[in-house]
A and B are shown apart, each in its own frame.
Chain A
């Protein structure tokens, strides 16, 4: 097998590694969930790898500094494993949401990675073709949506931003046939902001939580098909799995943003927004500048400007795709807010618009093919990065197989959401490798300081997932890099100065 490091650095190759299904599907998911605040992700997705390439072209060695340190290599290996896990988790979740057992999706994805590792290093010549197919497969359903709605994204933006509320359309499946919430969100309460008259589309048990005087009452009711239930503002409802409920047309969709203007202005509170976006940017830029470094190490070649231009076009198209997909989803499928904004529901957008015709299923299938191509292009490279970190570049298949099986086993159960796993992975490499890149020469305490930063990063990440940290800024907990990276940088600076002073003659 040809060693990946023998190949020249190329922007398209980096972008193949960068655009995993997790990052690709996080684009529309974050924009639908957070409105304008989710757009920063698109900006970071476009800029991160390009900045990496820009620094490569000036100083090929800068991004690879520190790769000989055991701590940095271990962090990189763990990060690659987490990205592997996140992607298998995503595919497992998609298969479960579409009615297949979760394990079947995870197993199929793991087999694809194993096959992909053997294929990957031989496919360099065809890589641009594969990238084009991926972009085409994602863009085609969007083009069909544009044709069907006869509205361009700017017009859709105006419609969404001027909407006084997100309401149930008369043709919505939630109104006509009724629906059950997805398995992922069936345990979450639905909170109502206005009065609703619900009709049971199937018999089942529901739990209604409401206030009576100063106390909160939770009432369990067994309702038969066709029975009605009136809920008031402030009430909360939870139905058993599979219980279908119908809503009235024209009523506000529970849990949707207050109105279109609120969505287009961003849904995060300003403090959280500012710190959160800074944390997201640090994590993604840090990840982009460090995760591919090992994969591209040893190339010794600068990325050509033409290659960077081609890569930029791919990144811009993908970022635009994510935004447009989110805009059309917010306009034509706002019921997402009730069901929970998930990647699988977002991918079903053509099915909502084409009302279950053959075109709808074909368009969804084409979008899924695009995601699969992204998977085949990126995830095997993660396995190869992992093997390279452990100095097994020569015969990586067995080692990669072990890690893939390991990632598959942990992905069988839904524990940490895939997006959180990916961010944790990006942060891990950022907190270890990024500070080392800033050093101009050898540093006596680099290994220890980076180890301390890694411990701080993981502690903040773990504490953030517990209720202990209620007093701490949530952005710091969601993006532990915000706390850990400055500490590492300051410690590196201070220890270097102290070392210099101690060496100076009195």
Chain B
């Protein structure tokens, strides 16, 4: 693997994936809050559902495919 900086396109994808990971992790923290806190985030219940059901699987798939992509580029 060379020490050259990745292409700008790859850097952009990198930043997007990191940002998405941050958003997803905050969603996981939100989802794992105890029941007593749930009234505080009642308005976010739908967000919570879509995080776990849609956003998180999509992000995980994107991350895994991206890592495969990066490995492919470094080969």
A contact residues vs B (CB 8 Å cutoff): 36, 39-40, 42-43, 46-47, 50-51, 53-54, 57-58, 157-158, 161, 261, 264-265, 269-271, 273-274, 305, 308-309, 312, 315-316, 319-320, 323
Contacts and interface: CB of A to CB of B under 8 A. Distances in A.
A36 B61 contact: no
Contacts of A316: 57-58, 61
9 contacts: A36-B52, A42-B53, A47-B64, A158-B46, A261-B42, A261-B45, A274-B32, A305-B65, A312-B65
A43 B57 CA distance: 6
B61 A312 contact: yes
Interface of B: 31-32, 34-36, 38, 42, 45-46, 48-49, 52-54, 56-58, 60-61, 64-65, 67-69, 71-72
A47 B65 contact: no
A54 B48 contact: no
B52 A51 contact: no
The listed residue with most A CB atoms (<10 A of its CB), out of B60, B65, B68, is B68
A308 B57 contact: no
Main SS at interface, chain A: helix
A36 B35 contact: no
The listed residue with most B CB atoms (<10 A of its CB), out of A36, A264, A273, is A36
A491 B32 CA distance: 30
Nearest to B52: A39
Contacts of A54: 64, 67-68
A373 B64 CA distance: 27
A309 B48 contact: no
A51 B63 CA distance: 10
Given A36-B52, A42-B53, A47-B57, A264 B45 contact: yes
A309 B65 contact: yes
A101 B61 CA distance: 42
A13 to B, nearest CB: 16
Contacts of A273: 35
Contact of A50 (B56, B64, B72): B64
B64 A58 contact: no
A273 B33 CA distance: 10
Contacts of A46: 57, 60-61
Instruction: Rank and list the top 10 A-B pairs by shortest CB-CB distance, nearest first.
Output: A270-B34, A270-B35, A46-B57, A39-B52, A305-B68, A312-B61, A47-B60, A39-B53, A50-B64, A54-B64
Given A36-B49, A305-B68, A312-B64, 14 more contacts: A40-B52, A43-B52, A43-B56, A47-B61, A50-B61, A50-B64, A54-B64, A57-B71, A265-B38, A270-B34, A270-B36, A315-B57, A316-B57, A316-B58
A297 B46 CA distance: 42
Contacts of B65: 305, 308-309, 312
A271 B68 CA distance: 36
B64 A161 contact: no
A36 B56 CA distance: 13
Given A46-B61, A50-B60, A316-B61, A269 B35 contact: yes
Given A161-B46, A265-B38, A316-B57, A57 B68 contact: yes
A40 B42 CA distance: 19
